[in-house]
Structure 1
Amino acid sequence: MRKTAVLLTVLIWCLFADHVVHAAQLLAYVTNEGDDNLIVVDLSTEKVVKTLPTGKTPHALAFTKNGKVYVNNRGSRDLTVIDANKFEIIKTIPLPAISMLIAVSPHWKTLAVVYKDALKVSFIDTATDTIIKTIPIGKEPDGIFKGAMIKHPYWSKDGGYIYVSDNVNNTIVKIAVATGEIKSTLSMPGSNHYLHPSKDGKLLYAVNETTKEGGTSITLIDVDKDRIVKNIPIPLEAGEKGLGHHGVFTKDGKYFFSCNEGGTTVAVLDVDKQEITKTLKAGMGAGHPAMAIDGKYIFVIQHKDNIVTVIDVDKQEVVKDIHVGKGKKQAHASYFTPDGKFFYMINAEDNIMNKIDVATMEVVSGIPVGKTAMFFGIKEGQDFPGTE
């Protein structure tokens, strides 16, 4: 009886210890475009624990719930598939064109791939890592098209539909994933970069790169009716170019902060009024706004500057510009630790991942990464939170 109790105690302790180890584990998966590889960094020791080869110019990452990671190679017609738990390459998936971006469905079963040089979207079965179907979404350009034909794909909450931006014909295309049928095609005021769902899920906030008038705007799309509710132009400073990139909602959903990569503007949109109520000045190439864990601050990643701009959400004011090195190109990913104490971002020209103390708003350490590291993913224990 006593022996059984001891064995049971040991077993419980082992399970508890295993849980603690996994819960404490914090890893970064960094894609290095200049080295054609992915490195795994232990953020507790700030050391590289594994280096894995990828295709050419690896960029974005997409994780499944069980730890499979897909690498979007922007210089070769393939995806690299990696076991994020074992740090091993599983497979290389050939593609019909060069991928621009990828996104895993909400149920983790399907990966959507959109392309730089083709108006198509491919669906990959994440269990078998094979292409299920590839669907054309619009009329291909007659000549050479400058830029990426499609940007970020967006999955509906139930995984039944995917939205993709046809930037050749300036439309948003909604596809029924099960059948491959195009359900709607919306004419946009210009080229689109990213779709953000409203807090209640009723609207999509489409951040447009450029409009036909040369500026940038946010287009509100009714999800149920598949129609445009309103197009909201972004006021810009004199000499500033329009190049909308990403945005973020406040925790209460009352405001939407949108970045203009073509200049320094961060626009504040009042959700109820559906209008821009204020503009703030960040650094050059304002690109990715990241909301702090407590919702009090937004940290803005810039793509043409060496600062991270911090915005006080309640005051809607810039409170600090944090210098993050000499280089003026920052990666597209960022990450707040679960306790909200630290913020990670990469200076892609300095080849350094910076760790920023959120309370003091100062860089406290720098972790060497590879050449031109433009993206990273995170593992928290056994979870893979989003970083973009």
Structure 2
Amino acid sequence: MRIAVVSLALGIVFSGFGFAQNLLVLEKSDRTLAIVDPATQKVLARTPAGEDPHEIVASADGHFAYITNYGAFDKPHHTLTIVDVTQRKTIGTLDLGSLLAPHGLSLSEGKVYFTAEGSKAIGRYNPDTKQVDWTLGIGNNRTHMIVVHGDRIFTSNVNSDSISIIERDAKADVSGWTQTVVPVGKGPEGFDVSPDGTQLWAANSGDGTVSIVDVTSKKVAANFDIHVKRSNRLKFTVDGKLVLVSDLGSGDVVVLDAATHKEVKRLNVGKGAAGILIPPDGARAYVASSGDGNIAIVDLKSLSITGHIPVGKGPDGMAWATPAR
């Protein structure tokens, strides 16, 4: 693995940017990252995001952001793009070598976990050593999204119609990990783990259902139809009471009650509802409308759309960055 560092202009003073929170939005079709001030809803800066950028995660201190350069099936890429958020500059490209089509991202204990869909694997980048320090073969087809929750790693395997639960196990093979593959509905893509870690909800893009996996038993506890055309992402609210599912086909966001599994509200955010981001305060959700080039702001108390943030072409993956003081 190697990392190429892009030189920076040193005339930018960090204090000039203050410590404001930043909403980071990938503009896929423009191959750029937009840094947005959520207070003014204005784009503060743009910086290159590499080829075919799909997902983004920010470091805990809000200083850096990491972007997967996907490439999908025909021309899978093999890089992560690294951005200095405080300087608003792209600073490097990490070559992942044979780890192809990186897509999903999750941050845990300062390290960046990613899927390598084209290699049926997952990996981990260590910002301290600037190296990929761990990989694990998954062996499923189209391992797309990843969530690290506590000491477990979860992935959605779209074309294998399954969810993987990966756990440390001293008695396992030389890898030290065991994988349990849980069959769910057709085409699970977006998924999330409940804040208490007891449930995993998977949005099955191929049949319009949601599968609920009991994390302890590693079995499907419920499966129900939410009447969507092509679910894309699924997110729990911070308090774990609601679940949001975006529908690329209709442009809707379906709001579900986590306890009853019933639909609470259905909001149309525009063309191609895609990425969902819920900031740590849990007051609102940002939903990308890829076809309209904007981000819808959803108030999670009133369950209403309170505004839109115009961005570039094809917005999708988002992250929240709060620079440390």
Q: TM-score range by the shorter chain?
A: 0.7 to 0.9
Matched residues in 2 for 1:283 and 1:57: separation?
Answer: 26
- Mapping for residues 154-165 of structure 1, pairs under 5 Å: 155=148, 157=150
Which of 295, 298, 303 aligns to 1:361? It is 303
Query: How many Å apart are 1:130 and its aligned residue?
Result: 3.2
AA aligned opposite 1:321: R
- State yes or no: 1:330 paired with 2:273: yes
Alpha carbons of 1:321 and 1:156: their partners in 2 closer, same or farther (altered >3 Å)? Answer: closer
Q: Is the 8 A contact 1:348 1:372 kept in 2?
A: yes
CA contact (8 A) 1:250 1:313 kept: no
Displacement, 1:352?
Answer: 0.9
Are the equivalent residues in 1 in contact too, given 2:247–2:273 (CA < 8 A)? yes
What is the count of residue pairs matched by the alignment? 297
> Secondary structure at 2:176's aligned position in 1?
strand
Deviation at 1:265, TM superposition (A): 2.0
Post-superposition CA distance 1:109-168 (Å, at most 9, x none): x434432332455443312423446x573789xxxxxx73x333555735xx86778889
What displacement does 1:63 show?
2.5
* Change beyond 3 A, Cα 1:166–1:136: farther
> What pairs up with 1:1-388 in 2 under 5 angstroms?
22=19, 25-66=20-61, 67-75=63-71, 76-97=77-98, 98-101=100-103, 103=105, 106-108=108-110, 110-132=111-133, 137=137, 148=142, 150-153=143-146, 155=148, 157=150, 181-183=174-176, 186=179, 188=181, 206=182, 208=183, 217=184, 242-248=186-192, 257-267=201-211, 276-277=221-222, 279-325=224-270, 327=271, 329-336=272-279, 338=281, 340-380=282-322, 382=324
Distance in 2 between residues matched to 1:103 and 1:77, nearest whole Å: 14
Q: Secondary structure at the match of 1:96?
A: coil
Counterpart Cα distance in 1 of 2:106 and 2:197: 24
Q: Distance in 1 between matches of 2:163 and 2:254?
A: 32
**Partner SS, residue 127 of structure 1:** coil
Asked if the contact 2:252–2:268 (Cα under 8 Å) also holds between the matched residues in 1, the reply is yes
Contact 2:276 2:285 in 1 (8 A): no
Letter in 2 for 1:84: V
Q: For residue 363 of structure 1, report the CA deviation from its aligned partner.
A: 1.5
Secondary structure, in 3 states, of the residue corresponding to 1:151?
Answer: strand
For residues 192-234 of structure 1, the C-alpha deviation after alignment (integer angstroms, 9 at most, x for no partner) is xxxxxxxxxxxxxx5x5xxxxxxxx1xxxxxxxxxxxxxxxx5
What amino acid does structure 1 have at the position aligned with 2:255?
Answer: V
SS at match of 2:319: strand
2:24–2:33 CA contact under 8 A, matched in 1 = yes
CA contact (8 A) 1:64 1:104 kept: no
Return the letter of the residue paired with 1:157. G
Instruction: Describe the shift of the 1:333–1:341 C-alpha distance in structure 2 as closer, same or farther (beyond 3 A).
Output: closer
- Offset of 1:106 from its aligned partner? 2.6
The question of whether the paired residues in 1 share the 8 Å contact of 2:64 and 2:85 is answered with: yes
Alpha carbons 2:80, 2:94 under 8 Å: kept:
yes
TM-score by length of 1: 0.63
What is the TM-score of this pair, normalised by structure 2? 0.74
Residue identity opposite 1:99 in structure 2: A
Q: Secondary structure at the match of 2:108?
A: coil
Match of 1:299, as an amino acid? L
Structure 2 equivalent of residue 12 of structure 1: none
Aligned residues of 1:30 and 1:376 also touching (Cα < 8 A) = yes
Q: Contact (CA 8 Å) 1:256, 1:269: kept in 2 or not?
A: yes
Instruction: Point out where structure 1 has 5 or more consecutive residues left out of the alignment.
Output: 1-17, 141-146, 189-205, 209-216, 218-233, 235-241, 384-388
Q: Is the 8 A contact 2:158 2:189 kept in 1?
A: no
- Specify every segment of 5 or more residues in structure 2 that has no aligned partner in the other structure, as ranges: 1-14, 72-76
Once the two structures are aligned, what percentage of the paired residues are identical? 19
Higher relative contact order (CA 8 A, sep 6+): 2
Query: Is the 8 Å Cα contact of residues 267 and 280 (structure 1) preserved in structure 2?
Result: no
Q: CA deviation at 1:357?
A: 2.3
Structure 2 Cα separation of the partners of residues 284 and 308 of structure 1: 11
Cα distance between partner residues in 1 of 2:120 and 2:196:
37
For the 8 Å contact 1:100–1:115, the answer to whether it is kept is: yes
Quote the offset at 1:85 in angstroms: 1.9
Is the strand fraction higher in 1 or 2?
Answer: 2
User: What's the CA shift string for 1:161-191, capped at 9, x where partnerless?
Assistant: 86778889999696979xx942356574xxx
- Contact 1:27 / 1:380 at 8 angstroms: preserved in 2? yes
Q: Distance in 2 between matches of 1:262 and 1:120?
A: 22
